[in-house]
Structure 1
Amino acid sequence: MDFNLQAEIKQLVATKREGQYWDFKEKHHDNKASLLHDILCLANSLHKGNKYLIFGVSDPQAGCEIKGVEQENRKSQTDLIDFLRSKPFAGDIRPEIELRTFELESHEIDVLIIFEKPFKPYYLRDEYRDRDKQIRANSIYTRNIDTNTPIDKSADIRIIEMMWRERFGLDVQPSDRIVDFLWKPEEWDKDIGNKECAYHKYNPEYQIQFGEPREFRDIFSYFYINKSSFIGEAEFKYLSTTLFTLSYMYCDEMRIQLAVPSNGHVRVSRREVWYMYYVLQSRNGAFLNFMTDSKLDFQSQSAEGIFLLYRNHDERKEFENYLSNNLRKLDDIHDSDIGRYIQSDLDREDKHFIFKPIEMVKVKNLFEYWRIHKDIT
């Protein structure tokens, strides 16, 4: 279960009001046009972040009382996805959603998450009616503070203009835009290892300049069949301006290309456990996506790197807290053959790192167990 999300929803309910990115409904809609109207308004909100349609909580005029939805005919995530998929969205661009259920004050509430994506405005190319409610064709709805655009009207032209500017990236800083471009490596002209510069095919003013790599060896080098590895600096540029730099590396004698991972550790009393990781929701995570052509794996020949791949920084904090409280579970994991082999290799070469290969394998195994368990509970 996502405890951070649950805490956020609990906090929103406690405010006893609605806002630009959250809306309370005492029960699930019985009118589908009204449901679609609420989703469109939240999806088109200019709030920078996910939006929430919260079922099982009364509106502010009724005190935002937690009523729960366990006694009514509820819609499932599949119902809602199929509902949106069947509607004539302009350009076939639809809001991305997920339905989560939480328990608050002994009641179940459903939370429809509408994910923030740079695809606003969402609107229908044909009208949609359910009984006395009608979504108008080509009308753009949004949410301003705590109020939806009326179903028979359209948003102010100023707000609509801001949506289009967001979709076309006209209000995005160059340093953020180049990170967005990294999520589509197929749109780049690149030949890493052979060409010093990669540039975006459709926006060639955005470039990545790869500095000359130098040979080095770190603990992760030993997890590959060939321990030869190289590291270099990549400059991310807009025209002639360097926006930021990130480190890149080749492993297994240049057979695999990666962003350089971050070092992580937890400390309990005098014991420290070290490991390496990436956070997808970061510049370095986007760079990893670029370097691996969206594969996001660390496989080379029959060997694989021992890195953890977090979805976001909150997940990293959550796992490190779990690790700190479950060192006994970590110790109970059987020593792997690969971990023992690498440790003996290090001993033969008289190499010393703060990282312990046997423990790194255990941390990754515990992380995979934790994530599966978290996602199904």
Structure 2
Amino acid sequence: MLDIISKLIHENEDEYHDFKKEWYSPNKKDELIKDIFSFVNTAHHEDCYLIIGVDDNKRVVGIENDENRRNTQKLTDFLNNLPLANNAIPRVIVESLTIEGHTVDVIVIKDYKNVPIYLKEVYPSKNSKIHTKSHIYPGQIFCRLNDTNTAIDKTARDDLVEKLWKKRFGDDLTIEEKYKIKLSDIDNWQYSENGETRFLYKVDPNYCMYLKDDIDEDMRFKIESYSLSQMRIRVNWKILNLQYKDRLIKRFTVLFLDEYRFLTIYPQTFSLEQNFDKPLIYRFILADSIDFYVENFLLNQKNDFSPSADYFQKEKLLEGIVVFKNSEQKNRIDKKLKKNISAIREGVQPTDSQLESIQKKVTLAFHEKDEVSNNEIVAACRELNLGRYINDFIIYNTNEGNTINWFG
């Protein structure tokens, strides 16, 4: 947060941030509402910042002695007590930072989808003891355009409001972004095997995913690193087509694990070091990609007749797959890992007991001894160990934390 705000202080005000010299006094609660609503009612999909303790000339003056300061709880209580239409309550967080020897408060207005927000009753009401310079009326919509908020006695232009409604219903998004929203609505998908295997989005049947045979299955590996922790380690390959009407949006290679008991996507692959004999390869998913949303859907959908993972299967699967927040986090972690390649290589080598255990599972799963070679077993074990190593490294050796939300 400190890096973000320090950078913004040197930039001109825009649709993402605004400067305030001091906190809002009790008789300026209408201005506080207007300013927060204006940043909530933005057509973009980013958080916004009201930076308090910085004047219009971008000089840090601080709010150390400001008696009108509010913390997150007080500001949230204030918003909760407003007559908000549709009970739409924006999420705000107050952060205190030390910048240039002064205390600066930042109201973080989190990105909000259910816009526009507005009041359903006049504020303050006729019987209220609150005194403000102006009233805010029902249905009055405040927006932020460049560095300017809608005036307290005005309402936003129709073209700005139209953009807000498009944001609310996802009409401003690409088809992949729309698919992410539909996939997050897990309970409204229906699994069917009548004629063709598919997942149908009941709210809008134009969104449909079809499970197809993989024509390249015979050329693929029979085991994968992330299948080794399952009770049965053989994998079976399929193709999942995400379609909107008759249009193919994206094609995923997916796998049945644990004897067709659940589906998972084929994760991306990355090599920390190019070594032909013993490559340091791990599997990963980016949490801001559609891959993550498909994986989350497959692991958490609860149709009675569709294949889905139980807690044990899901936990074991995710041990060896690294889920990064985004590509930026992945690049940071890779850079740190590459500083200690020799120790990592030694630490992820399969032990004799691990290889013996996996060999027993292979013997049980395959009739032919040569279906899975010893080299494949060693490589899969090393890949699994590296995935586990990186997951532990992120949790215990960085300040990144494991904050991925599998929201199913």
Q: TM-score, normalised by structure 2?
A: 0.77
Q: For residues 9-36 of structure 1, what are the alpha-carbon distances to aligned partners after superposition, in whole Å with 9 as ceiling and x for unaligned?
A: 3222112x20012111223323433222
Change in 2 beyond 3 A, CA 1:240/1:345: same
User: Which is worse superposed, 63-72 or 201-210?
Assistant: 63-72
User: Which is worse superposed, 227-236 or 268-277?
Assistant: 268-277
Partner of residue 95, structure 1: 90
User: Which is worse superposed, 116-125 or 271-280?
Assistant: 271-280
The 5 Å alignment of 1:184-195 reads: 184-191=185-192
**Structure (1 or 2) with the larger CA radius of gyration:** 2
The 5 Å alignment of 1:245-324 reads: 245-267=251-273, 273-293=280-300, 299-301=311-313, 304-305=316-317, 306-324=320-338
Distance in 1 between the 2:340 and 2:96 partners?
27
**Residues 233, 246 of structure 1: 8 Å contact kept:** yes
Change in 2 beyond 3 A, CA 1:238/1:197: same
Aligned residues: 366
Change in 2 beyond 3 A, CA 1:300/1:228: farther
Q: For residues 19-76 of structure 1, what are the alpha-carbon distances to aligned partners after superposition, in whole Å with 9 as ceiling and x for unaligned?
A: 01211122332343322211100111223422222222222xxx21123344445422
Matched, 1:362 2:374: no
Change in 2 beyond 3 A, CA 1:25/1:340: farther
Aligned amino acid, residue 131 of structure 2: R
Deviating above 6 A after TM superposition, structure 1's stretches of 4 or more consecutive aligned residues are 268-272, 294-298, 326-333
Change in 2 beyond 3 A, CA 1:339/1:178: farther
The 5 Å alignment of 1:225-264 reads: 225-264=231-270
Q: RMSD of the alignment, in Å?
A: 3.6
Aligned amino acid, residue 45 of structure 1: T
Partner of residue 305, structure 2: none
Q: For residues 324-351 of structure 1, what are the alpha-carbon distances to aligned partners after superposition, in whole Å with 9 as ceiling and x for unaligned?
A: 4566996998x89x97754444678512
Aligned amino acid, residue 283 of structure 2: M
SS of the equivalent of 1:134 reads coil
SS of the equivalent of 2:135 reads strand
Aligned amino acid, residue 276 of structure 1: R
Matched, 1:79 2:74: yes
Q: TM-score, normalised by structure 1?
A: 0.83
Structure 1 or 2: larger strand share? 1
Gaps of 5+ in 1: none
Pick aligned residue for 1:353 from 358, 370, 379: 379
Gaps of 5+ in 2: 125-129, 303-307, 361-372, 404-408
CA apart distance, 1:139: 0.7
Partner of residue 55, structure 1: 52
Q: For residues 260-313 of structure 1, what are the alpha-carbon distances to aligned partners after superposition, in whole Å with 9 as ceiling and x for unaligned?
A: 222234459999753322222111111122112279998435961222223333
Partner of residue 156, structure 1: 157
User: Which is worse superposed, 231-240 or 315-324?
Assistant: 315-324
Matched, 1:221 2:247: no
Partner of residue 166, structure 1: 167
Aligned amino acid, residue 325 of structure 2: R
